[in-house]
């Protein structure tokens, strides 16, 4: 008997990632879609051979549904994910886990109370290149990590979103919360934590709404670019650039500078990883093409979530992992707002 899953929210992320990957998973029998706009849910149910729930409570109350993907907009995650967990469902929540630390803690609290699985869709951990890069760094062959730089940019959510208009919720402060920092930056913060086996502890930053305008032609309420300096607990130093204005080509690259050489990830069109050693050696790895907005390849996230549920394993990205990344993003925005260096507060065990 396979797993029956529910999906809350039928926007682009559901259409491009969650629904097709659940449909392709051999352990998933049925998908039930819910969206406050019933036509959207109907359209995806037809496209992927699923069913429609008229209310979100139908998902929570269906005893056959074991797992739920929360693909609602950012400001609703703490409501839907918490309620789903407390209804006895395993939850895969889209990133960022929430807009505030308090709301993220609510979800983690619900997970602890329910005993169900909570995974957050920080999908950069799942690419073969990033997993291989972590392996190389952990092997010690390049020595200690000293510095790093990472970037994530594309032409903006209005090109990728469901409606493809400047009225996208990503541009609204009360809904997206943190602009490009919460959309793209949070992915790379989580990736740095994963690759370096370390956590970012201090940040400074500059931000701006440099080019994007809303449906009325006015500058958007959130940043479309943010550039930051980062220091980790282990003393590594680095930079992050996150942008919705990379017109012409996406950039999702990371470079790690170590004692014995350099590790470049997604820097070259052909080779996903390049290692350049201090002695002049070059090693290339051709693993797989990264997902882009135009090239939707299976992310591996859904399969990993289904396996965690099916095999009773700890998810690869936990609520605590996601909270750690959210706190860094909030710190980066605070640093940009106040023109000062911000120290990220440690999460005490009592608060979780």
Q: What does the pLDDT profile of the chain (352 residues) look like in tens digits?
A: 799 999 999 998 999 999 999 999 999 999 999 999 999 999 999 999 999 999 999 999 999 999 999 999 888 999 999 999 999 999 999 999 999 999 999 999 999 999 999 999 999 999 999 999 999 999 999 999 999 999 999 999 887 655 567 878 788 887 767 899 999 999 999 999 999 999 999 999 999 999 999 988 999 999 999 999 999 999 999 999 999 999 999 999 999 999 999 999 999 989 999 999 999 999 999 987 655 545 556 789 999 999 999 999 999 999 999 999 999 999 999 999 999 999 999 876 444 4
Q: Which residue has the tokens 């701006």?
A: 208
pLDDT given at position 163? 59
Write the CA distances from 128 to 153, 179, 194, 273, 291, integer angstroms: 20, 28, 13, 10, 11
| Distance, CA of 348 to CA of 159 (rounded, Å) | 40
pLDDT given at position 66? 98
Backbone angles phi, psi at 4, to 5 degrees: -105, 130
| Distance, CA of 187 to CA of 181 (rounded, Å) | 9
pLDDT given at position 176? 66
pLDDT given at position 169? 74
DSSP-based helix, strand, coil % in the chain, nearest 5: 35, 25, 40
Q: Are 123 and 299 in contact (CB under 8 A)?
A: yes
Copy the structure tokens of residue 50: 């699923």
Q: Are 70 and 10 in contact (CB under 8 A)?
A: no
C-alpha dihedral over 163, 164, 166, 170, to 10 degrees?
A: 70
| Distance, CA of 90 to CA of 117 (rounded, Å) | 5
| Distance, CA of 35 to CA of 43 (rounded, Å) | 11
Query: Using CA of residue 65, residue 67, residue 68, residue 69, what is the dihedral sign?
Result: negative
Q: How many CA atoms lie within 13 A of 274 on its CB side?
A: 14
Write the CA distances from 331 to 177, 216, 321, integer angstroms: 13, 30, 16
| Distance, CA of 33 to CA of 41 (rounded, Å) | 5
Q: Are 255 and 275 in contact (CB under 8 A)?
A: no
Question: Which among 12, 8, 17 has a CA at the least distance from the CA of 162?
Answer: 12
pLDDT given at position 174? 73
pLDDT given at position 289? 66
| Distance, CA of 162 to CA of 154 (rounded, Å) | 16
Alpha helices, DSSP H only, in the chain? 12-13, 19-24, 38-48, 56-61, 77-86, 101-114, 128-139, 173-176, 179-180, 186-196, 301-310, 319-338
| Distance, CA of 48 to CA of 31 (rounded, Å) | 8
The partner residues of 205 in beta bridges, in order of sequence, read: 228
* Other Cβ atoms closer than 10 A to 223: 26
């Amino acid at each position: 008997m396979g797993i029956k899953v529910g999906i809350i929210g039928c926007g682009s992320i559901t259409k491009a990632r969650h629904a097709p990957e659940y449909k392709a998973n051999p352990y998933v029998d049925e998908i039930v879609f819910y969206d406050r706009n019933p036509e959207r849910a109907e359209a995806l149910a037809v496209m992927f051979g699923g069913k429609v729930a008229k209310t979100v409570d139908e998902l929570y109350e269906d005893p056959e549904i074991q797992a739920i993907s929360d693909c609602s907009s950012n400001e609703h995650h703490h409501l839907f994910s918490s309620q789903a967990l407390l209804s006895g469902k395993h939850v895969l929540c889209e990133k960022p886990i929430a807009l505030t630390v308090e709301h993220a803690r609510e979800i983690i609290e619900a997970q602890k109370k329910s005993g169900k699985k909570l995974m957050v869709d920080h999908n950069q951990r799942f690419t073969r290149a990033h997993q291989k890069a972590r392996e190389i760094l952990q092997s010690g062959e390049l020595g200690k990590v000293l510095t790093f730089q990472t970037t994530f940019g594309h032409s903006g959510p209005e090109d990728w979103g469901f409606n493809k208009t400047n009225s996208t919720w990503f541009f609204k402060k009360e809904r997206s919360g943190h602009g490009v920092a919460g959309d793209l930056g949070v992915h790379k913060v989580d990736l740095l934590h994963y690759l370096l086996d370390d956590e970012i502890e201090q940040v400074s930053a500059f931000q701006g709404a440099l080019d994007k305008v809303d449906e009325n032609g006015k500058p958007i309420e959130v940043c479309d670019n943010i550039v930051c300096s980062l220091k980790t607990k282990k003393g590594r130093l680095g930079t992050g650039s996150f942008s919705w204005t990379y017109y012409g080509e996406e950039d999702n690259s990371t470079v790690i500078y170590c004692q014995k050489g350099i590790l470049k990830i997604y820097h070259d069109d052909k080779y996903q990883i390049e290692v350049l050693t201090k002695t002049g050696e070059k090693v290339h790895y051709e693993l797989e093409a990264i997902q882009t907005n135009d090239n939707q390849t299976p992310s591996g996230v859904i399969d990993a979530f289904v396996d965690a549920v099916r095999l009773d394993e700890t998810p690869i990205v936990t609520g605590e992992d996601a909270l750690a990344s959210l706190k860094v993003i909030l710190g980066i925005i605070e640093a940009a707002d106040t023109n000062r260096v911000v120290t990220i507060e440690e999460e005490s065990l009592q608060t979780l």
